[in-house]
């Protein structure tokens, strides 16, 4: 028998990918669900695989603090772009 908390968590996002076997895939799913953008799981999984985790965490923390956003996914992508541009400028 499952606990109530686990049953609710599984029912929350019914379209969640079922064939997750790697850590970056789990993190991509976590990003998509945190940003309430469950239509684009594959985008966030690819970002989790290719982009530095520190940059993703910083963009996610900024987005979570941005309460007035209509689309948290847009704010996340904007901040991610800003952080990538900043890191490119630091390298030069």
Tokens (6 digits) for 53: 């985790």
Give dist(CA 70, CA 6) in Å, integer. 29
Residues 6+ apart with CB under 8 A from 49: 24, 28
Average pLDDT over residues 60-69: 90
pLDDT tens for 46-55 read 999 999 999 9
Total domains in the chain come to: 1
Tokens (6 digits) for 84: 């990538």
pTM over 0.85? The answer is no
Show the domain range for 41. 4-91
Give dist(CA 32, CA 14) in Å, integer. 13
């Amino acid at each position: 028998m499952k606990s109530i908390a686990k049953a609710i968590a599984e029912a929350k996002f019914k379209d969640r990918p079922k064939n997750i076997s790697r850590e970056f895939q789990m993190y991509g799913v976590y990003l998509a669900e945190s940003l309430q953008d469950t239509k684009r799981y594959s985008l966030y999984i690819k970002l989790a695989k290719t982009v530095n985790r520190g940059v993703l965490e910083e963009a996610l923390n900024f987005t979570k603090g941005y309460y007035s956003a209509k689309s948290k996914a847009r704010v996340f992508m904007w901040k991610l772009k800003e952080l990538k541009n900043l890191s490119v400028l630091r390298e030069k």
